[in-house]
């Protein structure tokens, strides 16, 4: 456990009176975090695509990750709104604050930040014990994966978000860190934006050993797009790998499960690469 996490646990896991009873989450991953922190029954509003755990599907939808219906928000009488720091538009936050609503940003930049977010939300909602327990379970799973794959053979990976144009992530994304846990190298860690476009020619030039993408995306389109380049290592080795993107892209405790699935898939990809003729 890092010193940063240990300090946060000492500060945030102290018993505090509940500060909020009715919370709205402005991102699907924030809804997951609220429930993981033991406060699912305090969640009164969510945004579009919030669907985990099952209880969240019955919670009123007040907009999407880019805009909130203020009238719908006010009707729910929240005493806390959680915004996605770095994702919720500033204009949405400012609009809500003009109505004297309490908006608290939650930022997740790293895998450890998922645990810190749990502690923060638990402190805000008075569910510290549940949040601390979930944080410990999550960090233990991540630590076990780091140890298991510490000596894995490096493999270069393109994490693809869209079929055309191709979008991917840089080194600052938690997904890039997840690839590192599995012993993989993010092929485009050096791009400027957290998530940005890359040309097909650039991918061909770097010739990844595997291409990973979400099952929720256009799987057929992605596979057809790369199937036109049979000389690529990833294509030759049948290493076009669909994964459950919700587990990996939503910064919540399910990331540990998503990373475990990713690591297993990449282990299989290594084996297929090893059988390619020189």
Q: So what's the pLDDT on residue 208?
A: 98
Note the pLDDT tens digit of each residue in 22-34: 999 999 999 999 9
Runs of H (alpha helix) within 37-110:
70-75, 90-97
Structural domains in the chain, sorted by start: 3-146 (3.40.50.1980), 151-274 (3.40.50.1980)
- DSSP, collapsed to helix, strand or coil, labels residue 21 as coil
Closest CA to 184 of 226, 225, 243, 228: 243
What percent of the residues of the chain are helix, what percent strand, and what percent coil, each to the nearest 5?
45, 15, 35
Read out DSSP for 153-178? Answer: PPEEEEEE-BTTTEEEE-TTSHHHHH
Residue 230 reports pLDDT greater than 50: yes
State yes or no: cis peptide before 40, omega within 30 of 0. no
Strands across the sheet containing 23-25: 43-45, 23-25, 80-84, 103-106
Which tokens belong to 234?
A: 């990833």
CA 166 – CA 204 distance, rounded (Å): 12
Closest CA to 249 of 263, 234, 262, 268: 262
Which tokens belong to 122?
A: 């638990």
Evaluate if pTM is beyond 0.85: yes
Q: So what's the pLDDT on residue 3?
A: 52
Q: What band does 2 get if pLDDT is binned at 50, 70 and 90?
A: low
The per-type count for the chain, helices as H runs and strands as E runs, is 12, 10
Note the pLDDT tens digit of each residue in 99-152: 999 999 999 999 999 999 999 999 999 999 999 999 999 999 999 999 999 999
Which tokens belong to 100?
A: 């004297």
């Amino acid at each position: 456990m890092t010193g940063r996490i240990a300090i946060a646990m000492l500060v945030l896991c102290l018993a505090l009176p509940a500060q909020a009873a009715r919370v709205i989450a402005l991102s699907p991953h924030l809804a997951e975090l609220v429930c993981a922190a033991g406060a699912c029954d305090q969640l009164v509003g969510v945004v579009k695509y919030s669907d985990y755990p099952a209880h969240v599907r019955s919670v009123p939808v007040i907009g999407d990750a880019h805009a909130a219906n203020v009238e719908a928000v006010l009707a729910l009488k929240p005493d806390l709104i959680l915004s996605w720091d770095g994702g919720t538009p500033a204009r949405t936050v400012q609009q809500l604050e003009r109505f004297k609503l309490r908006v608290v940003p939650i930022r997740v930049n790293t895998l450890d930040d998922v645990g810190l977010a749990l502690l923060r939300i638990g402190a805000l909602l008075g569910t510290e014990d549940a949040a601390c327990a979930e944080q410990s379970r999550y960090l233990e799973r991540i630590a076990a994966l780091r140890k298991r794959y510490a000596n894995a053979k490096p493999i270069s990976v393109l994490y693809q978000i869209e079929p055309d144009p191709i979008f991917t992530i840089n080194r600052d994304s938690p997904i890039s860190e997840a690839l590192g846990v599995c012993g993989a190298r993010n092929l485009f860690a050096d791009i400027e934006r957290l998530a940005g476009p890359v040309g097909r020619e650039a991918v061909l030039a770097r010739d990844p050993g595997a291409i990973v993408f979400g099952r929720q995306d256009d799987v057929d389109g992605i596979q057809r797009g790369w199937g036109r380049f049979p000389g690529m290592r990833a294509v030759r080795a049948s290493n076009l790998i669909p994964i459950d993107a919700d587990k990996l892209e939503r910064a919540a405790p399910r990331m540990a499960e998503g990373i475990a699935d990713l690591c297993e898939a990449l282990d299989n990809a290594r084996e297929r690469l090893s059988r390619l003729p020189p």
